[in-house]
Chains A and B, each alone.
Chain A
């Protein structure tokens, strides 16, 4: 069974540019989560999808971040325009249902210059 896959593994962009991160959850997992870890801090929750619906987006930092999960399969997280403080590692996780443990991808390391 393939795990959670994320693309790209690394992204380096300049301040003001746009970046889109992609996450493919484990097949059959309706629940998809985005988290991020900024330098020196804990992993923090961003948002939670159940199928294509946003269940909880309380962790999204501001309106420069847009997450989508059209069709309830893969998800994208777009940052537009990127700011320096957006640098960090963005993780995606999925679970079969919301009470099951979450399984994480390797993350996308985002660097804003």
Chain B
């Protein structure tokens, strides 16, 4: 079992729709969770971080965390073609190590 799992997609949604991206993790003690957006050939760009159960909203983005189910998701409202990218879920596992563990990424395409 992978430590962080994402549906690789591709995921296609029409412009203006809600895109839902999901991620599960195996380390029950994990405390910090991040969503990065990566355009082709560019750096992973941090778009959301979440540390507590529940929802965290930032503009059109909402991160949801459920530690009991070991599940973190990212919702993108009013999706735009410019949101088309690969979205990476990253988890800071429990313990002293500060390395991020990444999922394989979900490729999102927003269709005009």
- Is B101 positioned at the interface, with any CB of A under 8 Å from its CB? yes
Q: Which of B42, B45, B98, B102 contacts A43 (CB 8 A)?
A: B102
Stretch from A69-77, A80-88, A96-104 that touches the partner: A96-104
**Judging by beta carbons under 8 Å apart, are B43 and A56 in contact?**
no
Bound complex: CA A48 to CA B32 (Å) = 17
Q: Which of B2, B41, B44, B99 contacts A48 (CB 8 A)?
A: B99
Interface residues on B, range: 20 to 34
**Judging by beta carbons under 8 Å apart, are B98 and A56 in contact?**
yes
- Is A55 positioned at the interface, with any CB of B under 8 Å from its CB? yes
- Is B62 positioned at the interface, with any CB of A under 8 Å from its CB? no
B105 (CB) vs chain A CBs: closest residue: A42
Q: Which of A98, A103, A107 contacts B98 (CB 8 A)?
A: A98
Interface residues on A, range: 20 to 34
Contacts of A104 in B (CB 8 A): 36, 43-46
**Judging by beta carbons under 8 Å apart, are A101 and B102 in contact?**
no
- Is A65 positioned at the interface, with any CB of B under 8 Å from its CB? no
Q: Which of A3, A58, A91, A106 contacts B41 (CB 8 A)?
A: A106
Q: Which of B34, B43, B103 contacts A106 (CB 8 A)?
A: B43
Contacts of B100 in A (CB 8 A): 33, 35, 43, 45, 93, 102
Contacts of B101 in A (CB 8 A): 45
- Is A110 positioned at the interface, with any CB of B under 8 Å from its CB? no
Contacts of A4 in B (CB 8 A): 43
**Judging by beta carbons under 8 Å apart, are B45 and A58 in contact?**
no
B99 (CB) vs chain A CBs: closest residue: A45
A3 (CB) vs chain B CBs: closest residue: B43
Q: Could you list which residues of chain B lie within 8 angstroms of chain A, going by C-beta atoms?
A: 2, 4, 32, 34, 36, 41-46, 49, 88, 97-105
Would you give 20 A-B contacts (Cβ < 8 Å), ordered by A?
A3-B43, A31-B98, A33-B98, A35-B100, A42-B2, A42-B4, A42-B102, A42-B104, A43-B88, A43-B100, A43-B102, A45-B99, A56-B97, A56-B98, A56-B99, A99-B98, A101-B49, A102-B100, A104-B36, A106-B43
